[in-house]
């Protein structure tokens, strides 16, 4: 059997706060293959950094275990884990030149001067930095500092490359450029990488797999496509891309298909996600109760008002032509608001505000999710 690069098993971290405890990471389990790039995505404070810091060894888990390349490292000190960590603010040593920054780990490891020189030079070339060896971090631009930080860890050939929002201090253009560079480098070196970000396009574009986290828990793990097309929870649906959530009355329940009534008396059926574990925060589906239908704005079809059974009704509350598509905001009879993005075609009809319209949902692109329980 192939050894996993990383195996997290029910990893939990509880911090003591002024008045009580806070569970920053709650039973996170994850298996990462060699050479895989996994991004951690979630809102601020959801526990991404803490998870990464536990993998690094900066924090010790309150419970659970961490296995790196087959050896249990749950309580191993940082400096024995052979990981590379790229910090949000780079954490370059301000009192050392670029050369000494990159050579730092090799020197600590006691390598020969000549080997160090070669490796440092190679690493700097690899990240696209030449002729900067004698400069100090304060004399470099943000992008260059980022590259030094990268060179400093890849020169060590770590078992795991851990990055905590490494691009968040760069301007937008450079950020997008560095994404591809990091990904290229990661693939070239075949290095296993965990990458934390709160920027979803970053997470989606760089990763083999994405871990979506919320409130310390893993909401879903999957490829960008899986997560986008098959969100397993309302949170994921709402957090990744844009999603409309429409509450509709359930009329029939089959194994994994739910039927609801359209506004005009017809029946609309689509797949539903059944919570795979007993999740106390959601309600179960019941005939007569509402279910949440998730549909992406680009999967709606808006047509002139008509009373067909298969259609839903709405009033246009805003209509904006943005070139590639038209963005509508529609108000449903129950006052819920949804968005619809209709791609531009030469002969398309553009509806105006206040206009009565109908819309249709392609069941293939729609999904029912269990409703969140109302907080008592």
Partner 1 sequence: MSTTRVEHTRRSMAKRDPVLFGTLVAIWIIFAIFIFLPIIKLLSTTFVVDGSISFTNLIKIMGKSYNIRALYNSLILATAVAVTGTVLGYIFALAVTRTSLPPFFKGLLAAVTILPLISPPFTSSISLTLALGPNGMLLRALGITDFSIYGFIGTWISETLTYFPVAFMVITAVLNTMSANLDDAALSLGSSRWRMFRTITIPLSLPGIGNSILLLFGASLADFATPLILGGHTFPVLPTEAYLMITGMFDLKGGASLSFLLLIPALLVFILQRVLIGKKSYVSVTGKNGAKSAFGKLPHLLTAIISAVCAITVVFILYLYAIILWGSLVKVWGVNNTVTLQHFKYVFAHGKKAITDTLLIAVLSTVIGSILGVVIGYIAQRKNFFGKRFFEFGSMLNYALPGTVVGIAYIIAFNQKPILLTGTLAILVAAYVFRYYATGIRSVIASLAQIDPALEEASLSLGANSLRTFTHVTIPLIIPAVLAGMRYLFIHSMTAISATIFLVSVRWTLLTTRILESMTELQFSQASAFSIVLIIIVFVVDAIMLALMKWSTRKFTQQESISYEKIGA
Ligand X SMILES: Nc1ncnc2c1ncn2[C@@H]1O[C@H](COP(=O)(O)OP(=O)(O)O)[C@@H](O)[C@H]1O
The residue ranges that bind partner 1 (CB under 8 A) are 14-17, 21, 56-60, 62, 77-79, 81-85, 87, 89, 91-95, 104-105, 108-109, 136-138, 152-153, 156
Pattern of binders to ligand X over 39-58, x per CB under 6 A?
Answer: ---x-xxxxxxx--------
Is residue 28 within the footprint of ligand X (CB under 6 A)? Answer: no
Return the SS3 of 240. coil
Closest separation in Å from C-beta 171 to partner 1: 22
Instruction: Please state the closest distance from residue 135 (CB atom) to ligand X, in A.
Output: 31
- List, as own/partner pairs, every contact residues 353-357 make where C-beta atoms lie below 8 angstroms and the sequence separation is at least 24, other chains included: 353/316, 353/317, 353/318, 353/319, 354/315, 354/316, 355/305, 355/315, 355/316, 356/305, 356/313, 356/314, 356/315, 357/302, 357/303, 357/304, 357/305, 357/313, 357/314, 357/315, 357/316, 357/330
Shortest Å distance, C-beta 79 to ligand X = 20
Cβ 328 vs Cβ 318: under 8 Å: yes
Q: Is 50 in the site for Mg ion (CB under 5 A)?
A: no
320 interacts with, out of ligand X, Mg ion, partner 1, none, CB within 5 to 8 A per kind: none
Asked whether position 197 contacts Mg ion by CB under 5 A, the answer is no
Which option in partner 1, Mg ion, ligand X, none does residue 50 bind, with CB closer than 5 to 8 A by kind?
ligand X
Size, binding site for ligand X by CB under 6 A: 12
Choose between 49 and 233: whose C-beta lies nearer to Mg ion: 49
How many residues in total does the chain contain? 376
Tell me if 69 sits within 8 A of 159, measured CB to CB: yes
Q: Are 260 and 293 in contact (CB under 8 A)?
A: yes
Task: Please name which of 109, 131, 136 lies closest in space to residue 121, comparing C-alpha atoms.
Answer: 131
Q: How far is CA 40 from the centre of its chain?
A: 5
DSSP string, 311-348: -EEEEEEEEEE-SSEEEEEEE-TTS-EEEEEEE--TT-
Cβ distance to ligand X smaller for residue 28 or 106 = 28
Among residues 49, 220, 233, 311, the one that binds Mg ion under rule CB under 5 A? 49
Task: Select from Mg ion, ligand X, partner 1, none the partner in contact with residue 324, using the beta carbon and a kind-dependent cut-off of 5 to 8 Å.
Answer: none
Residues in contact with Mg ion, counted by CB under 5 A, come to a total of 1
> Which is nearer to partner 1, 44 or 138 (by Cβ)?
138
Written as six digits, the tokens of 101 are 């920054």
> CB under 5 to 8 A by kind: which of Mg ion, partner 1, ligand X, none does 47 bind?
ligand X
Does the footprint of Mg ion cover residue 146 (CB under 5 A)? no
Pick the closer one to ligand X by CB: 23 or 100.
23
The 3-state DSSP composition of the chain as helix, strand, coil percent (nearest 5) reads: 25, 35, 40
- CB 137 → partner 1: shortest distance, Å? 7
For 290, the enclosing helix (H) or strand (E) is strand 290-295
Residues that bind ligand X (CB under 6 A): 15, 17, 22, 24, 42, 44-50
In the complex, which residues of this chain contact Mg ion (CB under 5 A)? 49
């Amino acid at each position: 059997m192939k050894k996993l690069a990383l195996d997290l098993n029910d990893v939990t971290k509880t911090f003591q706060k002024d008045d009580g405890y806070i569970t920053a990471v709650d039973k996170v389990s994850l298996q990462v293959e060699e050479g895989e790039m996994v991004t951690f995505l979630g809102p601020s404070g959801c526990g991404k950094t803490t998870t990464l810091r536990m993998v690094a060894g900066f924090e010790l888990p309150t419970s659970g275990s961490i296995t790196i390349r087959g050896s249990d490292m749950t309580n191993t000190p940082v400096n024995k884990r052979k990981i590379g960590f790229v910090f949000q603010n780079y954490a370059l040593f301000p009192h050392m030149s670029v050369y000494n920054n990159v050579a730092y780990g090799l020197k600590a490891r006691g390598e020969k001067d000549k080997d160090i020189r070669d490796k440092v030079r190679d690493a700097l070339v690899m990240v696209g930095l030449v002729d900067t060896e004698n400069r100090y971090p304060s004399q470099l631009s943000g992008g260059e500092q980022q590259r030094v930080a990268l060179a400093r860890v890849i020169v060590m050939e770590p078992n795991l490359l851990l990055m905590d929002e490494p691009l968040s201090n760069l301007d937008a253009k450079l950020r997008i450029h560095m994404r591809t560079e990091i990904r290229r480098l990661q693939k070239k070196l075949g290095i296993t990488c965990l990458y934390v970000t709160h920027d979803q396009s970053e997470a989606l574009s760089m990763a083999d797999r994405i871990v979506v986290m919320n409130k310390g828990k893993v909401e879903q793990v999957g490829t960008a496509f899986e997560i986008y097309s098959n969100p397993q929870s309302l949170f994921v649906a709402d957090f990744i891309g844009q999603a409309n959530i429409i509450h509709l009355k359930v009329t029939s329940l089959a194994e994994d298909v739910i039927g609801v009534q359209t506004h005009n008396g017809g029946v609309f059926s689509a797949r539903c996600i059944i919570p795979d574990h007993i999740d106390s925060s959601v309600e179960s589906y019941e005939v007569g109760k509402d279910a949440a239908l998730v549909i992406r704005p680009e999967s709606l079809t808006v047509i002139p008002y008509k009373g067909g059974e298969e259609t839903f009704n709405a009033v246009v509350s805003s209509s904006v032509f943005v070139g590639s598509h038209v963005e509508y905001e529609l108000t449903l009879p129950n006052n819920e608001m949804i968005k619809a993005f209709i791609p531009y075609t030469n002969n398309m009809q553009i509806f105006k505000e206040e206009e009565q319209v109908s819309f249709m949902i392609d069941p293939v692109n729609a999904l029912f999710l269990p409703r969140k329980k109302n907080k008592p």
